[in-house]
Amino acid sequence: MKQSVTGLIKSILEEAKTNGLLRFETLPLIPVEAPKEKSHGDIATSIALALAPREGKRPLEIAKIILKGLEGKDIDFEKVEIAGPGFINFTFRKEYWHEILNDVLKKGETYGRSELGKGIDVNVEFVSANPTGPLHIGHGRGAALGDALSNLLQTAGYKIQREYYINDTGTQMETLGRSLWIRLLQLHNQNVSLPENHYQGEYIKGIAREMVTTRRLDEIIKITKARDFFDLSKMPEEEVIPFFTDYAKESILKGIREDLERFGVRYGRWFSEKSLYEDGKVDSVLSEIKERGFLYERDGALWLETTRFGDDKDRVVRRKTERYTYFASDIAYNNNKFNRGFKRVIDIWGADHHGYVPRMKAVIQALGNAPETLNILLVQLVTLLKEGKPVAMSTRAGEFVTLKEVIDEVGVDAARYIFLTRRHDSHLEFDLEVARRQSSENPVYYVQYAHARIASLFRETAVRGIILPETVDTGLLNLPEELDLIKDIANYPEVIEGSALSLEPHRITYYLHGLASRLHSYYYKYRVITDNLELTYARLFLLKSLGIVIKNALKILGVSAPEKM
RNA sequence: GCGCCUGUAGCUCAGUUGGAUAGAGCAACUGCCUUCUAAGCAGUAGGCCAGGGGUUCGAAUCCCUUCAGGCGCGCCA
């Protein structure tokens, strides 16, 4: 609808130019929007205001020219009027709105989908927490955002691959393995203490005990040809630690997988950093970049010239010690994504990594891609409130509230919904008590309740033997509240496109809230099932459409749409 | 010191990419269940959009600057 109004105005302006009424050289962008004030019609444009200074005319004059040009056109609005300083407000005929419902019911769960993405392959990488400990609440936010964004983009017609990058190599993995090894030594009453920079969390002790009960430890003793545990503990560290690194990594990763699965997140691929080295991808990408002339040696180390692309200093990819930095595999990973055919790459990071954005953007360009092909969304950290007080969290010290605990306490729906009520770069306070409460304080129930109410209504009509016919007279829906609801419904595809373009799924939660609010109000004020059967049909038709939209939107957020509450 | 993010109602946050009179939830106060679900509805009150300057028909939104808070600035991971 917007497009047709835009096109209409455009042609009128061009006609006015040929008639000598206007003299612009190039047409400016024609701003068209839905006004927030109802009396301003359904759609409005400020083009007359924008054009006025260039034309040397008053905005009202230009608005009148446009209005005049409209007269001969074959589009029927209920009303077109000039308002305020020169806005032109269009009001559609009611028939236009009434038509919408048929479309919604016909499309059902596909209502809201669009071709915006044109099947473009997009890689969405999110969470990617190091397998050194369980997921905490901050990861939950990234998970909710990444998954909802993926759903959203799919709805908007993109082809999405969800991906998790596993940092399963490097010194931190050794540290992890050593942490486990030391816990095992302690378990066998050996007097060793865990260094401060190692992983202190209780979960490492749990893994140690697990290794004993599952007999995995015995197997390792056998493989290393040690006689017993004591013998094993005398062996050189570098020979035994890889076993523990592997076990710890697998065990933790298994937990991460389970948590995410339970949270409703399924990845298309779990990508191992280690595999990049094993497949020679790191070496090959570096030599490729070297050919392009962006690599150089200095002080015995190998550097990527990221300053060529706006970074404030160049970055080391291989240390003097010959060991690669994490940056090196990051380059290979990004290159790999594009080599797999993704046209666009979206990364979701914790905001504490924002300093890495310029260098990754540089990498993209050094690889010969446009910087816009990489979107990095920074998620602000979550402040967890328990009994109204913030809970301090530190991963290394092993002091944190895990995602699992949060889900156990508040449930998946509430957790996901709350994470998605904020823009990604806005701070988020997560109040455990509020999230747990099954009351109006909890926004998720407000929306779910709207859906349950509609479902309940249809259970009631079934009992009463009222069966909704395939076609109904939607022209009976003339209450202002009914038209507002229809306009909300009609607006849904635009909300999807807007959210998809801006990568902001939180807009959907706000949209849903407004929708639910108008439904609750309508539901309270009017009765759907009345003595007038035709009217009852029409209202049921409206509510059925509404239920469809709520369900579709909740599905994008990854929140269930209950039939009963 | 340099860079990034944030600053909107008592609290938590939206604000459709520069539009018309700045919104919602919570908290506070007043009402509404003999009705298809009260996890709901109706209403009252609450604002120097951190401060200052600029850009223009028009700014919470863009630019400059000051202040406040958070984060980041390694051949760490």
Read off the pLDDT of residues A102-148 as tens digits, 9 standing for 90 and up: 999 999 999 999 999 999 999 999 999 999 999 998 899 999 999 99
| Ramachandran region, residue A20 (left: φ > 0; alpha: ψ -120 to 50; beta: rest) | left
Q: Give domain limits for chain A.
A: 2-92, 171-255, 440-557
Residue A85's pLDDT band (boundaries 50, 70, 90)?
confident
Pairing verdict, β A159-166 and A269-272:
parallel
Check: CB of residue A129 under 8 Å from CB of residue A146.
no
What is the rounded distance in angstroms from the CA atom of residue A365 to the CA atom of residue A247?
Answer: 38
Q: Which of residues 382-411 of A touch strand B (CB under 7 A)?
A: 383
Average pLDDT value for chain A: 92
pLDDT of residue A440: 63
One-character DSSP codes across A340-405: TT-SEEEEEEEGGGGGGHHHHHHHHHHTT--GGGEEEEEEPPEEEEETTEEPP-BTTTTB--BHHH
What residue has its CA nearest to the C1' of B3? Answer: A355
* Positions on chain B within 7 A of a protein C-beta: 2-7, 12-21, 23-27, 35-42, 56-58, 70-77
**Residue A298 CB lies within 7 Å of the nucleic strand B:** yes
Token pair belonging to A248:
């710890």
| Ramachandran region, residue A385 (left: φ > 0; alpha: ψ -120 to 50; beta: rest) | beta
Q: Which of residues 230-269 of A touch strand B (CB under 7 A)?
A: none
Q: Summarize pLDDT for A398-431 with one digit per residue, the tens.
A: 667 899 999 999 999 999 999 999 999 898 999 8
Q: How many angstroms separate the CA of A57 from the C1' of B56?
A: 16
**Residue A54 CB lies within 7 Å of the nucleic strand B:** no
**Residue A433 CB lies within 7 Å of the nucleic strand B:** no
The percent of residues above 90 in pLDDT, for chain A, comes to 78
Q: What is the strand order of the sheet A389-390 is part of?
A: A389-390, A382-386, A428-431
Nearest CA to A211 among A202, A200, A219?
A219
Structural class in CATH, domain A440-557: mainly alpha
Q: Which fold has domain A2-92?
A: Gyrase A; domain 2 (3.30.1360)
**Residue A46 CB lies within 7 Å of the nucleic strand B:** yes
Question: Of all nucleotides in the shown strands, which has a C1' nearest the CA of A495?
Answer: B16
Token pair belonging to A553:
């939107």
Read off the pLDDT of each residue in A256-276 and give the average, rounded to a whole number: 97
Question: Of all nucleotides in the shown strands, which has a C1' nearest the CA of A506?
Answer: B14
The DSSP letter of residue A28 is P
How many alpha carbons fall within 13 Å on the CB side of residue A526?
Answer: 18
**Residue A452 CB lies within 7 Å of the nucleic strand B:** yes
**Residue A284 CB lies within 7 Å of the nucleic strand B:** no
pLDDT at A439 over 80: no
What is the rounded distance in angstroms from the CA atom of residue A450 to the CA atom of residue A233?
Answer: 62
State the CB neighbour count (10 A cutoff) for residue A410: 24
Model ipTM value: 0.95
Check: CB of residue A556 under 8 Å from CB of residue A148.
yes
Fold identical between A2-92 and A440-557?
Answer: no
Q: Which of residues 326-385 of A touch strand B (CB under 7 A)?
A: 326-327, 351-352, 354-356, 380-381, 383
* Dihedral (Cα; A321, A327, A332, A337), 10-degree rounding: 170
**Residue A449 CB lies within 7 Å of the nucleic strand B:** yes
What is the rounded distance in angstroms from the CA atom of residue A12 to the CA atom of residue A63?
Answer: 11
What is the rounded distance in angstroms from the CA atom of residue A319 to the CA atom of residue A301?
Answer: 5
What is the rounded distance in angstroms from the CA atom of residue A446 to the CA atom of residue A516?
Answer: 7
User: Greatest CA separation found in chain A?
Assistant: 100
What is the rounded distance in angstroms from the CA atom of residue A300 to the CA atom of residue A323?
Answer: 12
Q: Which of residues 489-528 of A touch strand B (CB under 7 A)?
A: 498, 501-502, 504, 506-507, 510, 513, 517, 520-521, 523-528
**Residue A456 CB lies within 7 Å of the nucleic strand B:** yes
Token pair belonging to A116:
């915006």
Q: When comparing pLDDT for A554 and A77, which is higher? A: A554
Buried b (16+ CB within 10 A) or exposed e, A115-154: ebbeeebbbbbbbbbbbbbbbbbbbbbbbbbbbbbbbbbb
Buried b (16+ CB within 10 A) or exposed e, A46-78: bbbbbbbeebebebeebbbbbeebbeeeeeebe
Q: How many angstroms separate the CA of A197 from the C1' of B77?
A: 11
Read off the pLDDT of each residue in A491-496 and give the average, rounded to a whole number: 95
Residue A310's pLDDT band (boundaries 50, 70, 90)?
confident
Q: How many angstroms separate the CA of A32 from the C1' of B36?
A: 40
Helix/strand/coil (H/E/C) assignment for every residue in A409-462? HHCHHHHHHHHCCCCCCCCEEEEHHHHHCCCCCCHHHHHHHHHHHHHHHHHHHH
Read off the pLDDT of each residue in A185-210 and give the average, rounded to a whole number: 93
Q: How many angstroms separate the CA of A37 from the C1' of B21?
A: 9
Q: How many angstroms separate the CA of A218 from the C1' of B56?
A: 78
Q: Which of residues 306-325 of A touch strand B (CB under 7 A)?
A: 312, 315-316, 319-321, 323, 325
Q: How many angstroms separate the CA of A39 from the C1' of B62?
A: 29
Nearest CA to A140 among A442, A320, A409, A367?
A409
pLDDT at A396 over 70: no
Pairing verdict, β A43-45 and A87-91:
antiparallel
